[in-house]
Amino acid sequence: MRWKKTLNLVEAHAEGEIGRVVTGGVLDIPGATMLEKMTYINEVDDSIRRFCVFEPRGYAQMSTNLLLPPTRPDADAGFIILQGDQAHAMSGSNCICTTTVLLETGILEMQEPTTQVRFDMPAGLVTATAQCKDGKCERVELDMNPSFVHSLDVKVDTADYGTLNVDIAFGGIFYALVDCKQLGISIERQNAKKIVEIGCEVQRQLNKTMQIVHPENDQLKGIAYTMLIDKGPDGELRGATVLPPGRVDRSPCGTGNSARMAVMLERGEIKVGDQYSAYSIIGSRFDMSVAGTTTVAGKTAVLPKVSGRGWIHGIHQIGVDPTDPYQQGYSVADCWGDADDLVR
């Protein structure tokens, strides 16, 4: 065996969503801030993303978290989320995975009963508070980025469902939120393929027709994901986030529920101090709460808290032989979706 590149990874999932963590093999990425590093991957050189994410070293139903030294003095660690379409600025489930990996492998020292980890993310500082016992990270609560509404009741024309009302909100990244009542479907595993088709169509249409930019940072732009929202028979909140190029988040989704919380606050459906639980397509749960409000460029923004659990399920290395014809990996439409601008 003769590899010219070797990465060490720890496999973890948060309430079902896989977020493996690169713990060795990458020294750094160019850029003075974590946002600049993410932009470098997306706009200059995305070879590390392709290497980690695409087959044969990766697969569609996962994220890879690239652990990096923090660029700000008030953070303990930095990381960037690598996914099938690009690098992303924030993810609640991946913060839970990365916190669990850092503490349970001893990269950061665990303190019982609680350990605080401050993450330098492209979307800003995120604080994770882990409940720890007997060497186990039992639960992680995240202080998420300030989340705000961009637009309510945006009209989106679709091929199969006519014109839909869509809310657009920022929860660390931008989301399009679609109420399932318009579609006549529920968030169930057997509807996953249909949910993906709807979510991808809405995202593509909005990114073609609207310029969606964070009012304080023009590098945070565009609809990253679509989230279909629903309520269960007992009124519990359900959601299914659709990630390009075409899959459903297995977790309830921290950034998606932060965006949803911003919309609920705007519509007067929740208030500061409220708590609720959000469920995923596989029935896993995040606990949510409204810690307070602030303003972002004059807009009212909610300060969400998200709580969930993570588990380590594997440790391994990936590498590449210099004679391998697929050194940057490959994707095929059966698993990776059929959008020409996403399949590589």
Active site members: 91, 253
**CB of 20 within 8 A of CB of 310?**
no
Tell me the CA end-to-end span of the chain in Å, nearest whole number.
27
Point out which residues pair with 169 in neighbouring strands. 149, 175
Structure tokens belonging to residue 40: 């470098």
The span from the CA of 51 to the CA of 58, in Å, is 8
CA pair distance 94, 67, nearest whole angstrom: 11
* Alpha carbon separation from 83 to 62, 103, 243, 247 (Å, rounded): 7, 24, 9, 11
Sign for the CA dihedral angle at 257, 258, 260, 265 comes to positive
In order of 52, 70, 258, the CA distances from 7 in angstroms are 9, 19, 32
* Segments in the chain forming alpha helices (H): 34-43, 47-53, 92-104, 192-209, 254-266, 333-336
Written as six digits, the tokens of 244 are 């390009």
CA distance 3 to 343: 26
Tally of residues, the chain: 344
- 75: Cβ contacts below 8 Å, ≥ 6 apart: 118, 119, 120, 125
C-alpha of 38 from chain center: 14
Q: Three-class SS of residue 94?
A: helix
CA 182 to chain centre: 25
